[in-house]
Amino acid sequence: MFMCFSSGDRYTVAKSCLYHLKNFGINVWYDYHELILGDGKKEKNFEYAIKNNQYFLILYSNNLFKSPCAIEEEKRIFNELNTRNITIFPLLYNIKFTELPISYQNKLENYIYNEVDDTKGTLSSINQIVTKILIDKINKTMYDKTPTLSNYSKKNLSDDYIKQLLDTYNHISDENFNARITMLFAIYYYIKCNYGIDQKINYVYKIIEYLFAFTKLNIEHNHKELIIAELSMIILLDTIF
């Protein structure tokens, strides 16, 4: 993922987004990490980073419109849409959609965007990004384009214990979020202990571990943590069976 932002937002919203994305195991092109003294920033950012990333997080703020480099990055990202299929995540920081210049409003009118400020934080927005990335991975790599954990419980799995846990999970009330995510963690730890870690999907392990780290198995109804856990579990089960 490539992050486009003004340097004026580096130590507020940008660092917050980077923190969560990294802990979720998402690879992020971040100029402070990737560029070294003597590098051509435009050449490396524009010609390499933008050309070699599939996902783009653009942080719109009043600072961005004062940054010629950030404006150029944003322009180049949208130009990529003319040549290949990419995903853009617009995040508006301390600015309302109606406060954007008209040209940017027109550009973003067909996009789902989030508005955040210093009181809301970025975790909810990053959860949505991770959900989208996981869905894309499932659609790209799995034969079944609409897999569900309910489908897995109906399959003739070689591990009866996992099958029983999935059966239990699918009988828990949809509204009992904490019980459902707790059951998913029970399945995850059983898989981790008995099947080991497949390095090909190491990002899935990072996602699940980070979910546990910040939820402590206690989630709110409007969060996407349960969806992320379910999608991660589908990828995990598809790798094992």
How high is the pLDDT of residue 35? Answer: 45
Q: What is the pLDDT of residue 32?
A: 46
Q: What pLDDT sits at residue 14?
A: 94
How far is Cα 98 from Cα 127, in angstroms, rounded to an integer?
A: 25
Question: Digits of tens for pLDDT over the chain (241 positions)?
Answer: 999 999 999 999 999 999 999 999 998 987 544 444 444 555 555 667 888 899 999 999 999 999 998 999 999 999 999 889 999 999 999 999 999 999 999 999 999 999 999 888 899 999 999 999 999 999 888 766 667 888 887 778 889 999 999 999 999 998 888 899 999 999 999 999 999 888 889 999 999 999 888 778 777 655 688 999 999 999 999 888 8
CA distance 60 to 121: 15
> Is 183 exposed, middle or buried, given 0-12, 13-18 or 19+ CB atoms closer than 10 A?
buried
HSE on the CB side for 200, CA within 13 Å? 7
CA atoms within a 13 Å half-sphere pointing along the CA-CB vector of 95 = 21
Distance CA 162, CA 190 (A): 8
Give the E-state strand segments of 29-102 in sequence order.
55-60, 87-93
So what's the pLDDT on residue 224? 86
State both tokens at 112.
Answer: 């789902």
Q: Are 64 and 74 in contact (CB under 8 A)?
A: yes
